[in-house]
């Protein structure tokens, strides 16, 4: 019995033979190997993202745009607001924009799959946080990227403008009294080229230094915090150089930020991951913070 990989390899081989003959007939270079193309996008535009289903889906969408442009070259449809292919191209770019902002924020939550780079996913313990990020609006995710300083303001401005341009082109037919706009392949290619240049700029500029705790502090509030109560918890993260960390208590919905400078002097040298400690909640500069007892 043939294995799944044998079947895939056989189909790829047959497709390459077909594509070679077909491309000669139409004088076109047809994408021959999906996996190689996706791998190209992984290495060219998104090497900073952990290998996962989120990264792979973005790469497949990039390849889909190439395939849709190939269909245009073969069948010569008018690229206009009346044409389904035009919508597919723009909507695909729009989805990539949304997905990229989400994937950048999800990156610290992802666990890679050692056997298949397309199967890495968010660890189950972060599922609730994952759901909040995914449901967040694009503009709110952009604000978080700015707050965590993952991208510089000029790139974020470009990111937002590109998405707005895509959205406006998709919805332009709904403007009252507006005639359908014809869009040549050359004009669309200019938009796509700008988008790809932007992705290349992000590759060298992105700084994914945020943590799951950073995201948790944004999405999970402490309901009715009791500032008089003494909690018990375990230190789950601590940076001895910068002096801050997070402590987790079963009585609270998320880990709580603390800083060494607010801990009793006798305990400062004993702070380490895994240590249990009593603490109180205070209203600090970063929101709700813990002060270790």
Contact (Cβ atoms closer than 8 angstroms) between residue 96 and residue 61:
yes
CATH T-level fold of 221-292: OB fold (Dihydrolipoamide Acetyltransferase, E2P) (2.40.50)
In terms of DSSP bridges, do strands 231-239 and 244-248 run parallel, antiparallel, or are they unpaired? antiparallel
The whole-number pLDDT of residue 49 equals 94
Residues in CB range of 170: below 8 A, 6 or more apart: 87, 90, 91, 94
**Whole-Å CA distances, 283 to 60, 127, 220, 228, 257:** 45, 27, 15, 12, 11
* Residues 6 or more apart whose Cβ sits within 8 Å of residue 55: 42, 46, 49, 103, 117, 120
Residues in the chain: 293
In the chain, domain spans: 33-213, 221-292
DSSP output for 174-235: GSTTPPPPB--HHHHHHHHHHHHHHHHHHHHH------HHHHHHHH---SS--SSPPEEEEE
Q: What is the pLDDT of residues 81-93, one digit of tens each?
A: 556 677 788 888 8
pTM: 0.65
Residue pair 107/49 in contact by the 8 Å Cβ criterion = yes
Q: Is 287 left (phi over 0), alpha (psi -120 to 50) or beta?
A: left
270-293 tens-digit pLDDT: 788 888 989 998 877 767 888 988
Which range, of 9-18, 102-111, 169-178, 235-244, averages the lowest pLDDT?
169-178
Query: Exposed, middle or buried: residue 250 (CB in 10 Å: 0-12, 13-18, 19+)?
Result: exposed
182-233, pLDDT tens digit by residue? 667 777 888 889 999 999 999 989 999 898 878 877 776 676 778 888 999 9
First to last CA, the chain: 65
């Amino acid at each position: 019995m043939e294995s799944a990989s044998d079947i895939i390899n056989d189909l790829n081989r047959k497709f390459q033979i077909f594509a070679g003959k077909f491309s000669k007939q139409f004088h076109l270079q047809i994408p021959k190997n999906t996996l190689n193309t996706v791998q190209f996008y992984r290495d060219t535009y998104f090497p900073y993202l952990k290998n996962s289903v989120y990264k792979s889906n973005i790469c497949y969408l990039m390849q889909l745009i190439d395939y849709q442009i190939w269909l245009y070259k073969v069948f010569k449809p008018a690229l206009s607001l009346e044409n389904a292919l035009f919508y597919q191209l723009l909507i695909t770019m729009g989805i990539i924009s949304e997905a990229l902002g989400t994937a950048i924020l999800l990156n610290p939550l992802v666990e890679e799959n050692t056997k298949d780079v397309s199967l890495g996913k968010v660890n189950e313990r972060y599922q609730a946080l994952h759901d909040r990020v995914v449901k967040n609006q694009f503009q709110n995710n952009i604000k978080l990227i700015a707050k965590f300083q993952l991208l510089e303001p000029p790139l974020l401005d470009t990111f937002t403008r590109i998405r707005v341009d895509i959205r406006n082109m998709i919805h332009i037919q709904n403007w009252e009294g507006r005639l359908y706009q014809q869009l040549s392949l050359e004009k669309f290619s200019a938009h796509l080229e700008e988008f790809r240049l932007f992705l290349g700029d992000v590759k060298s500029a992105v700084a994914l230094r945020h943590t799951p705790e950073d995201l948790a502090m944004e999405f999970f509030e402490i309901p009715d915090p009791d500032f008089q109560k003494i909690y018990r918890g375990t230190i789950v993260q601590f940076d001895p150089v910068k002096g801050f960390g997070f402590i987790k208590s079963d009585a609270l919905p998320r880990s709580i930020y603390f800083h060494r400078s607010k801990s009793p002097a006798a305990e400062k040298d004993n702070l380490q991951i895994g240590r249990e400690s009593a603490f109180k909640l205070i209203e600090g500069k970063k929101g709700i913070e813990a002060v270790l007892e």
